[in-house]
Structure 1
Amino acid sequence: MLPTVTDLAELTRLFEEEGDGDLYVRWSRGPDADLGAEESSRDGLTGIALPGLSANSLRREPWWGGRSIRLWLARRLYDYEHLRDLRGPDVRPWVLRAREIARGPDNEPLVVDARPLAWVADEVLREAQRLVDEQGSREWGPMDRRAAR
């Protein structure tokens, strides 16, 4: 059974313990649905099978420097929370260690050899949104194409 992280502090501990290089978050129905023989996502526009699972990297970029890891992880969750609504019922985020093999049509990492680490609870998403909102930026928001329409 996959454990669940219930706050950003716990996610930060997981991030620090695992090392950030190959950690990703995936928004789906979970490892049981994703990690079959194919381990493949589909391009939403064309339906083409992709050579791995689409995921979002949690890797902290060097330019972030010594800033808050908690804020870094909060924004990585906040960026893609709209995928839960887009992909339907039972979709939730989970953290995995994996190997990137390509980039998808939105320049997202496509990963294989996924090893599930933890579910991310809704409480973490609410905490991430509060933390992002506290930054007070009017120039920044989620990466949701629907918002541009």
Structure 2
Amino acid sequence: MSTTANMPTLSSLDELTRLVTRRQGLYVRWSRGPERDLRGVSSTDDLTGVKLPGLSASPLDLEDWWGKRPLHVWVARRLYDYCHLPRVKDPRTRPWLLHGSETARGPDNEPLVTDVEPLGWIADHVIDEACRIITGQPGDWGPLDRDGAT
């Protein structure tokens, strides 16, 4: 069986938040999945075409500066930041959870991760929940959509 076929699906933001409290080194990767990504364990810089020394991913480890704010809002924000990718990059792009080791930083200062252990897909309704939480927060927390596509 393939890596993708064996992966469970995380079905709630609470479930993902509990994992973040129990384990360091968790990341969210938005792509077509580990089956494809683990062939070379490398992302490519879209602007220059340079092959990077790891997979670009969003870290889920809580930062000290977050203080006593709700952890589920932290996790929701990490999911929300790149929720535009299926729309602007490839509709087959999906979020998945992984454990890995940061090896470098990419051109947008994002972590580049190696020693990747795929842990699970993140269900679409979890992303919807994250979006509702973040858009309900005060201030402008728009996703990191540089193209401005809607």
Alpha carbons 1:28, 1:87 under 8 Å: kept: no
Instruction: Provide TM-score, normalisation by structure 1.
Output: 0.91
- The one-letter code of the counterpart of 1:26 is R
Alpha carbons 1:78, 1:125 under 8 Å: kept: yes
Q: Match of 2:142, SS?
A: coil
- The one-letter code of the counterpart of 2:91 is P
Alpha-carbon distance in 1 for matches of 2:132, 2:91: 24
Q: Tell me how large the CA RMSD over aligned residues is.
A: 1.3
1:51 equivalent in alignment to 2:56: no
4+ runs deviating over 4 angstroms: none
- The one-letter code of the counterpart of 1:146 is D
2:17 corresponding residue in structure 1: 12
Q: Any gaps of 5 or more consecutive residues in structure 1?
A: none
Q: Any gaps of 5 or more consecutive residues in structure 2?
A: 1-5
How many residues are aligned here? 144
1:2 equivalent in alignment to 2:7: yes
- The one-letter code of the counterpart of 2:9 is T
1:103 corresponding residue in structure 2: 105
Instruction: Provide TM-score, normalisation by structure 2.
Output: 0.91
Cα shift at 1:140: 2.6
Alpha carbons 2:134, 2:141 under 8 Å: kept: no
What are the superposed Cα offsets for residues 67-107 of structure 1, whole Å, 9 maximum, x if unpaired? 21110000110011112223313210001000001100000
